[in-house]
Amino acid sequence: MVCLGNICRSPIAEGILRQRASEQGVVVETDSAGTSAYHQGEAPDSRMIRTAKANGIDITDLRARQFVKSDFKKFDLIYAMDKSNYDNILSLSQNEEDRAKVRMILNESSPGSNAEVPDPYFGGEEGFQHVIDLLEEAMEFVIKRIHEQG
Residue sitting closest to ligand 4NP (CB): 5
9 is catalytic: yes
Instruction: Specify whether 119 is catalytic.
Output: yes
Residue 49 engages ligand 4NP in binding (rule: CB under 6 A): no
Whether the Cβ atoms of residue 93 and residue 102 lie closer than 8 Å to each other: yes
Pairing of strands 102-104, 33-34: unpaired
- In the set 22, 24, 38, 114, which binds ligand 4NP (CB under 6 A)? 38
Q: What separation in angstroms does the CA of 38 have from each of 5, 25, 33, 66, 149?
A: 6, 35, 11, 9, 35
Determine whether 3 is an active site residue.
yes
| Residue 8 touches ligand 4NP, criterion: CB under 6 A | yes
Q: How many CA atoms lie within 13 A of 41 on its CB side?
A: 0
* Angstrom distance (rounded) from CA 32 to CA 12: 9
Verify binding: residue 119, ligand 4NP, rule CB under 6 A: yes
Binding span for ligand 4NP by CB under 6 A among 2-10, 17-25, 51-59, 135-143 = 2-10
Helix (H, G, I), strand (E, B) or coil at 4: coil
Q: Which stretch binds ligand 4NP (CB under 6 A): 5-13, 71-79, 98-106, 138-146?
A: 5-13
Interacting residues with ligand 4NP (CB under 6 A)? 3-9, 34, 38, 119, 121
